[in-house]
Amino acid sequence: MLAFTIPNLFRRMLGEGTLSSAFIPVFSNLGGSLVPQWFLLNQVVSRLFLSLGFLSFCVICFSFFSYHSTLFQVYKWHVASYLNGVTFLYVIFICSSAILVAALNVKGSFGSGAVSPILLNLVMIGVLFAVGIAHELSFQSCAVILSIGVVVAGFFQLLLPWMELKVRFGWQWKFDLSKSDEIKEVGSLFWVGIFGAAVAQINILISRFLAYSLEQEGAVTYLYMSARLVELPLGIFAIAISTILFPKLASAVCLKDQESYQSSFFLGLRSILMLTLPSAIGLFLVGDLVVNVLFQWKEFSAENTNMAYVVLRVVSWTIPLYAISTFLVKSYHSQKNMGIPLKAASLSLITNLIFSLLLMNTHGVLGLAWANVLAAIIQLFYLCIRNKNLSSYAVFSNTSLSLSKLVLASVFMFLAILYAKQIPLFSDQKWDAFFQLLFLIFSGVLSYFSVLYFLKFPLSFGKPLLSRLVRK
């Protein structure tokens, strides 16, 4: 997990983070003319191949040197350094893939970006099943083969959007390190924004390393597991909505169409809040069943499940906080404003570091989880108070955010799941836990969206939820 953290941080900083945010507004401003767009795309991808190739070479050399020396005395750091050298090649493929996906998003194609993480997860699951279950290899052998599998998955993640751009849009790859006004603009936006992205990802790295330093067994696993469960609704809802609306926001800024910008902005906020609030409530209330069904196998005991759930109950509340922050950062990037996200990320980093150091000695991994929540609150608060579109009227208006309707529906859902969880329909068996989880999810979804429907919660273009499905 730790070995995959560092290349994953580079992916978020360079590929899906700041570089995409700097690239999309400039790429959109070139209009529908393919020649200058492909020219800019080739310039960006060429620089990525060259710089990340050199960086990967340096990291691999350092990792293998440290593995064959006495640089790391503690065994777990020794192994982590070696595995990091294997997985770091993943950075080249995934960062380049993210830029190609960004170009496809501007063209209105989102399929490759959606399928890309599925490829990675399928390869990782397949490798773990093959080497861990079918052949029962040692832990270290499984870790090495899994690291190689991540690199192979990265290659296919790059190949997918590459072929779509070539077949559907006629893009021809050409290695190009020439200069242009557009590449200079992308560079200027990128170098300002990279500090904000780096700070945000260092935040994650701090939590992982501090958890790794704890003597508490399974601390990294609990944090990582919680993060993966939180990232599921973030990826499905928040990041997906931000990805779709980001080119529209950038285009509206370019055309100086304030009405279109406001419409897309509040549509994004409403949609994200509508989907992430129940996700947080759901994980808070039924996270024990989620961890049981997904992870409680063989050596992962009921005690591990309980500890993981304790951490998850805290971390679950970061879902709407991170979701709204993600969208607000994209809205600033669409305006080519990288400074405010940088300051917000810096405040988040300072908050996380201070409270992690204060709480980890007395509360262990749970203290690190609370530090993450506090850091997310501070980041969101700063992003909100600096946003000119988020006035008091907009926050409480029934046409902009409809926050009161979302809160009422969330309270109703919370009570409905609490009641449904007390119904003695299921035993403690594994399959009963699975069916109870499905029953509670259905109860929560039904109660939540029923309230939103009757309250006429506005979704797109001011139309009430499910209005298209109801005959007038």
The β-bridge partners of 464 are: 458
Eight-state DSSP code of residue 69: S
Instruction: Please check whether residue 328 is in contact with residue 273, taking contact to mean a CB–CB distance below 8 angstroms.
Output: no
The β-bridge partners of 458 are: 464
Provide the 3-class DSSP secondary structure of residue 233: helix
Spell 136-155 as b/e; 16+ CB within 10 A means b.
eeeeeebbbbbbebbbbbbe
Instruction: Please check whether residue 117 is in contact with residue 92, taking contact to mean a CB–CB distance below 8 angstroms.
Output: no
Dig out the tokens for 415 from the structure: 């009570």
Provide the 3-class DSSP secondary structure of residue 464: strand
Spell out the per-residue pLDDT of the chain, length 472, in tens.
555 666 766 666 665 567 888 888 888 877 666 788 899 999 999 999 999 899 888 888 887 777 777 666 666 666 667 777 788 888 888 889 889 988 888 888 878 877 877 888 788 888 877 876 666 666 677 777 888 888 888 899 999 999 999 999 889 989 999 988 889 888 878 877 777 666 766 777 788 778 877 766 667 778 878 888 888 888 788 877 887 888 888 888 888 888 889 889 999 999 999 999 999 999 999 988 888 888 877 667 777 778 888 889 999 999 999 999 989 988 998 888 888 988 998 899 999 999 999 998 888 888 999 999 999 999 999 999 999 888 777 777 777 788 889 999 999 999 999 999 888 877 777 788 889 999 999 999 999 999 999 998 887 655 555 444 444 3
Dig out the tokens for 380 from the structure: 């969101």
Burial level of 328, CB count in 10 A (0-12/13-18/19+)? Answer: buried
pLDDT, position 411:
96
Counting Cα atoms < 13 Å in the Cβ hemisphere of 212 gives 16
Instruction: Please check whether residue 24 is in contact with residue 105, taking contact to mean a CB–CB distance below 8 angstroms.
Output: yes
Within 8 A by CB and 6+ apart from 45, the residues are 96, 99, 100, 173
Instruction: Report pTM.
Output: 0.74
Within 8 A by CB and 6+ apart from 110, the residues are 104, 243, 244
Q: Where are the domains of the chain?
A: 1-178, 189-463
Counting Cα atoms < 13 Å in the Cβ hemisphere of 468 gives 6
Instruction: Please check whether residue 279 is in contact with residue 233, taking contact to mean a CB–CB distance below 8 angstroms.
Output: yes
What angle, 0 to 180 degrees and rounded to 10, lies between the N-to-C axes of helices 18-29 and 90-106?
30
Q: Which of 233, 344, 342, 209 is nearest to 287 (CA)?
A: 233
Instruction: Please check whether residue 239 is in contact with residue 276, taking contact to mean a CB–CB distance below 8 angstroms.
Output: no
